[in-house]
Amino acid sequence: MRQRKEEGGLNMTPMIDVVFQLIIFFIVTVAQQQKEVEMELRLAMAPDGKAVERKDPRTITVDVDTQGRVYIARQRLSLQMLQNILRGAVARHGQTLPVVIRADAGTRHEYVRRVMDVCSQAGLWKIKFAAIKERAK
């Protein structure tokens, strides 16, 4: 009888487990987000541009580096592959699918143009360009 009463304390182990699970989750997701952004691109500044508040989950972000190489989620793609991806996405989500082109400030327009042409061919006329509104302090 006495022993049973002693066991009535608050069991902290599950709470600590949950806290650690949360910490691990945040470590992994923050690191992933950082990686996604840190694709050696030097974006141009647009301090008066519209800040990205809520990103549409359907958004496709296409990166273009100074050499004209094209990436989605750090995965290098040929223009043909990009076209197939965009066509597939348009078939699923329609022509209102948001496309963001994130090109390096020094990228020649002809490389950006290729991506824009692929977007147009896939039926996407509205395009967004990513820029930096405010640099992190």
Q: Which stretches of the chain bind other proteins, using CB under 8 A?
A: 5-10, 12, 16, 23, 30, 33-34, 37, 43-52, 64, 100, 103-110, 112-113, 116, 119-120, 124-137
CB-CB contact of 82 with 72 (8 Å): yes
Q: Which is nearer to other proteins, 50 or 92 (CB)?
A: 50
CB of 60 to other proteins, least distance (A): 13
CB-CB contact of 59 with 67 (8 Å): no
Q: Which is nearer to other proteins, 64 or 77 (CB)?
A: 64
Copy the structure tokens of residue 8.
Answer: 């009535």
Neighbours of 64 (CB within 10 A): 22
Q: Which is nearer to other proteins, 43 or 72 (CB)?
A: 43
The residue type of 9 is: G
Copy the structure tokens of residue 126.
Answer: 């509205």
Q: Which is nearer to other proteins, 93 or 113 (CB)?
A: 113
CB of 18 to other proteins, least distance (A): 13
C-alpha R_g of the chain: 23
Q: Please state the length of the chain.
A: 137
Neighbour order of strands in the sheet with 99-103: 75-77, 70-72, 60-64, 99-103
CB of 25 to other proteins, least distance (A): 13
CB of 124 to other proteins, least distance (A): 8
The residue type of 43 is: L
